[in-house]
Amino acid sequence: MTHEKRTISVIVRASQKAKGIFSRGGMTMMLLTKEILRKLPPLYSQDGKGKEATVHVKFFFPAGAATWYATEYDPEDKLFFGWADLTGQTGEFGYFSLTELESVKVRGLGIERDLHFKPKTLLECLATRA
């Protein structure tokens, strides 16, 4: 890698860190920002909507097919409700923990948040995966 490429990489990481994308401890992505936290509705607030529930944040594993769509969140227990698809072929509604998502490390890779994701219904999210 040339000096120029390394410099650009460091500048990009520093910029992302300043925007709250990465934690202070290194290149671990911040999965839940204050802005997202303000927008996530509490648990049970979309109860009964099924796949018409609004997804507010999407998480994924960059070296696999696992994807989590969060529709609700309890900040006290750090617990999401939403759709989890660990194989890329099937999925189901359920609860998943922010702490557990943050703890995943496989060959140096962790769970990431889709930085370009815009809130939409779960039905719309699943239609774009097909």
Domain boundaries, the chain: 24-129
Task: Tell me the pLDDT tens digit for each residue of 42-77.
Answer: 999 999 999 999 999 999 999 999 999 999 999 999
Residue 76: C-alpha distances to residues 25, 73, 96, 120, 130 (Å): 23, 9, 14, 25, 34
CA–CA gap between residue 74 and residue 50 (Å, rounded): 19
pTM to 2 decimal places:
0.79
Least confident of 70-74, 80-84, 101-105: 101-105
Three-state DSSP at 128 gives helix
Does the pLDDT of residue 8 top 80, yes or no? no
């204050």: which residue's tokens? 34
Q: Is 67 exposed, middle or buried (0-12, 13-18, 19+ CB in 10 A)?
A: buried
Looking at residue 87, its pLDDT comes to 92
Cα separation, 81 vs 77, whole angstroms: 12
The pLDDT confidence band at residue 129, using thresholds 50, 70 and 90, is confident
pLDDT at 23 over 80: no
Beta strands 67-74 and 54-55, pairing class:
unpaired
